[in-house]
Structure 1
Amino acid sequence: MSTEDGERSGRPKEVATDENVKKIHKMIFKDSKLKLNKIADTLKISIECVYHIIYEYLGMRKLCAKWVPRELTFDEK
C-alpha cells in the first residue's frame, strides 16, 4: 500500500497557461470593451481566473469600460 498520490486526469492545476494568456490578450486586443464573463464563457474557465490573468499577467485594468495597460505612456494619456 502506497501513501503517494498517482497522476489524476482532469483539469490542470494552473489555468494561467501561456496558451490562455495569449488567447485572452488576443480577445482583448480585438475588442477592448469585452466583459470578463464573456471571456470566461469562451475559454471555459472561471471569471476569477480571467481577472487574475488580465490583471497579473497582462498588467491591464478596466478604465471607462475598456481594458487598458496599467502604465500609460505620455502619448497614451
Structure 2
Amino acid sequence: MAYNFKNGRESVGDEPRSGRPVEARTDNNVQRVRTFEHQDRRITVRMLAYELNLKRETVRKILTDNLSMKKLYAKMVPSS
C-alpha cells in the first residue's frame, strides 16, 4: 500500500467504510445489559451475551467499564 502515498495520500488512518460499526458498546446495549442484570443477579456473562446476542467480551466490558462492576468469585457485583 506504499504506492498510495506516492499517489498523494497523506494520512495513515483508515478510510471510511460501509457496514456494521466495530463498537457494540452503545448506550442502548448498556441499558439492555443493566436491565437483564438487575432482573437476575445470578446471570453469568456468557448467559447475558447469549440472551442479548452480543459477544461475551462486549458484555464483560459493559459490566466492568460502563456499569462499574467487578468479578467476585464467579459473579459480577458493583464495585465499592
Shorter-chain TM range is 0.7 to 0.9
Larger CA Rg, structure 1 vs 2: 2
**TM-score normalised by structure 1 residue count:** 0.73
Q: CA deviation at 1:27?
A: 0.7
Q: CA deviation at 1:66?
A: 3.7
Task: Give the gaps of 5 or more residues in structure 1.
Answer: 72-77
Alignment of 1:1-77 (within 5 A): 5=15, 7-9=17-19, 11-71=20-80
State the secondary structure of the residue aligned to 1:34: coil
Total equivalences in the alignment: 68
What is residue 74 of structure 1 aligned with on the other side? none
What is residue 4 of structure 2 aligned with on the other side? none
* Separation in structure 1 between the aligned mates of residue 16 and residue 42 of structure 2, nearest angstrom: 43
**TM-score normalised by structure 2 residue count:** 0.71
Q: CA deviation at 1:45?
A: 1.5
State the secondary structure of the residue aligned to 1:68: strand
Task: Give the gaps of 5 or more residues in structure 2.
Answer: 1-8
Q: CA deviation at 1:24?
A: 0.3
Identical amino acids, percent of aligned pairs: 31
The RMSD of aligned alpha carbons is 2.0
Q: Is the 2:69–2:78 Cα contact (8 Å) retained in structure 1?
A: yes
Could you list the structure 1 runs, at least 4 aligned residues long, displaced by more than 3 angstroms after superposition: 3-7
